[in-house]
Amino acid sequence: MLKVSYRPNQSQKNLFSQDVFAKRCKQGLTQEQMAEYLFVSVNAYKKIEAGHIPKTGFFLLICAKLGLEPMDYLEEALKQEKRDVLLQVQETETV
């Protein structure tokens, strides 16, 4: 069984957190309202806006609430994962 984990790089983290912050503000929502919507603490929500990538369920809820397209973030992560795998294969072949 192949397990692929999503490990976004810093620019992907920043893009998602910046988009979440911008959309939340544009819609006139507070961090408290978003935390309540997600059933998490305000501190947990603040971490998301600071760059922490939430678990998939929270990620999808945030995207739905704010009108963000999840695939915009996942496609880039998958491209990065493919590049990482190719680099690992190349390194293995040269050893």
| Mean predicted confidence (pLDDT) in 56-85 | 85
* Amino acid 1: pLDDT: 45
* Amino acid 10: pLDDT: 56
Query: What are the Cα distances from residue 25, in Å, to 30, 31, 53?
Result: 7, 9, 19
**How many CB atoms lie under 10 A from the CB of residue 59?**
19
Q: Report pLDDT digits (tens) over 5-62.
A: 445 555 556 889 999 999 999 999 999 999 999 999 999 999 999 999 899 999 999 9
Angle at 62 between CA 82 and CA 67, to 5 degrees: 90
* Amino acid 53: pLDDT: 85
Higher pLDDT, 65 or 7: 65
* Amino acid 43: pLDDT: 97
